[in-house]
Amino acid sequence: MKTSVIKVDDMLSVWSLDEVERRIGEVPGVESVTVNFAAKNATVRYDETRVAVSDIKSTVHELGLQSNRPAEDEPAEDHQGHIDESEPAAASAAPKSKSDVPAATHDAHAGHEQHDGTVPDASKSSSGSQTDTPEPSSDHAGHDSHDKHQGHSPEKFRDRFWLSLAVTIPVVIWSAPIQDLLGYQAPAFPGSDWMAPVLSTAVFLYGGLVFLQGAWRELRDRLPGMMTLISLAITVAFIFSWVVQLGLIDSMPLWWELATLVAIMLLGHWIEMRSINQAQGALKELAKLLPDTATRITDTGEETVDISALRNGDLLLVRPGESVPADGVVRKGMSAIDEAMITGESRPVKKGEGDEVIAATINGEGSLRIEVTGTGDKTKLSGIMRLVADAQTSKSRSQHLADRAARMLTVAAIGAAVLTFVAWQLLGAELDFAVVRMVTVLVIACPHALGLAVPLVVAISTTLGARNGLLVRDRRGLEEARNLDTVIFDKTGTLTLGEFRIVASSVAEGLQEDEALRIASGIEAESQHPIARGIVKTAEDKGIAVPSADGFRAITGKGVAATIDGVEYHMGGPALLKAENVDVPPALQAASEAAASNGQAAIYLVQAGKALAVYAVADAIREESREAIAALHERGIEVAMLTGDAQAVADAVAKELGIDTVFAEVLPDDKASKVRELQAQGKKVAMIGDGVNDAPALATADIGIAIGAGADVAVEAGHIVLVRSDPRDIPRIITLSRVTYRKMKQNLWLAAGYNIFAIPLAAGVLAPWGILLTPAVGAILMSASTVLVAINAQLLKRVKL
């Protein structure tokens, strides 16, 4: 099986996607198809041995739509419209594996306590199918977009609206009903009586053509919808008016109503198209952050090249203030990178030799030389944009509900219009009055806003999530997050750093804590053991300068020794104390026993046979974890923890963080069973893990949330992917889910609820009291509901996650 993304421009409304999905789905060999109206493309999964992508594109052309996306045998274009000769992007990026935290014992620290804090290894995942996915485009200044149809639909409706409005104005001015209503007399001249029918016919044929074409497609595919209703309304008004104009019946023509109706409908559709395109704007802005050129360093010096010419292994110079042109690794230099647009991290991130940098992030004041590791559609930015596009393509239950409601409303509107006409005729009303009532019902009941209500909210919410480091792979996961009552965290690397740190310490009387740590870090600086590195890193985190040590040596089975400032010190565990007959003050002994009860390694600083300090070393808890769990508890959500560590270690972490339920000594294969255990209690469960090692549990949970690190996301692991390894993003997901669902409900009521009052009003139930709506007013009300839906959805952008 193969998956391709095909451009499908000129869809007139969200209704068009149904007919596109249906017709492409009928092509032999096509397994599935999903159309993204906002992105104007179709994601098609098909058997390449039975059907070629060119056949699928031919079907798109038969629908009257444009398809200019490169086929499988054509090179895809990069974000600037330049040819990208790199291989097609894979469907998924490999997840970042956690590094093992080795056990505490080694040849130089044989006397250290054994600490069961290993992090299970996570192998990389890969997708089982090939995906031909072009890189998202960007309209760079000075470059013509490779997609000449991008934005074509809004421009089409805009141009037709302004021209139709210009022609409509004289129709209204010379309309007899308007003159009678406003009490003026328009100038008469030869042929002025035919001005209204001629100009209104021009408006009908020019401005109304897009609606008639849309209705033809809907009826051809047996999917009547919004275009059908609009076309029925303007066609009935057009035919009726000509019948009256030719004197076949004695009544009043509807020329001004017809012209104004078409103009207002064009305005409504223009607003809709602009709203949808603006919903994609934030992601497009990300792509624009990529520079047009890069400075490449060669054997002969520096050269400026187009970024499409970059290849893996190239060495680039990134000057202060410049955007990083490609994913890479710092080979020389120090700086701080602004990654807010990718990870949502507000503070610049320090970068030095060996650190990864991400394309489109902004370099700070330092100059960097980076080795390219990813270009074009292989960058993390492109991966993020593909994830967001996929999320906007997937349909949630709310979308299916809106689709069904819109279909029902279409049928109800046609039925109500026919019933209105028949009822007024039976009541003895004039023919033109009955026709006007019928047309008004057809217009006011158009499910225009209903088709826009959910997709627009989804486009904005998924983009908002991406800008905050929350990548939604499946909208159903985001929708269900609001109902969560239990969140399960994998401990190592999620709630903890996955690295050793000093988590508690005690020093002898008369010695300053920072001075003791300075000495301890200097002794351990020569060792590569994970516990030693954890002690040194703790000192560095506290801003303590690590001193140089002389005479470093390992004491087999006991620990290490070194000289600091001319004084010899030893460091080790209980075996060192026993071998050297070390005197341990009561306070230090109590601290050591507390560490042992928590399953932590107790490491002593010893000088001249006396213990000066003891350090409890363990996998350190992230500072963010406390805030995350507190935020979840505030939302009434229970927190559980899964770990392969010993019960004592797990209980110590749980006690410190306030975790409600602990599953310790759990093998990776058994994690899914623990998820099912909670689900069996009727709980709605989310699992938070590293994406691969926890894959079975992520798949079993109601919502799987994969933790990424530095934007290296595990896209196959769950419904939602976190760009940052920050547990505080879990409450943010729930917040995003709740505000998104609330906006969907509000929009559905704004889009459909008003019909409860609007349809009877349009039918003329208040006519006995002199209250009647014209078709033009009906069109304004219908368009107003669309505008309200669009504005309400745009308010999502103000939400602080």
Dist CA 606 CA 549 (whole Å): 15
Which of 721, 687, 719, 695 has its CA nearest to residue 706? 721
Dist CA 547 CA 564 (whole Å): 7
Beta strands in 556-699 (DSSP E): 559-564, 567-572, 601-607, 610-621, 638-642, 661-663, 685-689
Identity of residue 528: Q
Residues 6+ apart with CB under 8 A from 560: 108, 109, 523, 524, 526, 527, 532, 552, 553, 554, 570, 571, 572
Residues 39 and 386 sit within 8 Å (Cβ to Cβ): no
Identity of residue 276: I
Residue 102 is inside which H or E element, if any?
none
Residue 34 is inside which H or E element, if any?
strand 30-36
Residues 254 and 776 sit within 8 Å (Cβ to Cβ): no
> In sequence order, what DSSP letters do the residues of 355-379 get, joined into one string?
-EE-TT-EE-SS-EEEEEEE-GGGS
Identity of residue 764: G
- Bridge pairing between strands 349-351 and 368-374: unpaired
Among this protein's residues, is 550 annotated catalytic? Answer: no
- The CA–CA distances, whole Å, from 620 to 74, 348, 558 equal 51, 23, 24
Number of other residues whose CB lies within 10 A of the CB of residue 306: 14
- The CA–CA distances, whole Å, from 195 to 188, 189, 314, 695 equal 10, 10, 69, 71
Burial 516-534 (b: 16+ CB within 10 A, else e): bbbbbbbbbbbbebbbbbb
- Bridge pairing between strands 470-472 and 720-722: antiparallel
18, 377, 490, 726: the catalytic one is 490
- Bridge pairing between strands 601-607 and 610-621: antiparallel
Query: What tokens were used for 333?
Result: 């230099």
- Bridge pairing between strands 720-722 and 703-707: parallel
Q: Which residues on adjacent β-strands are paired with residue 370? A: 316, 330
Active-site positions read 490
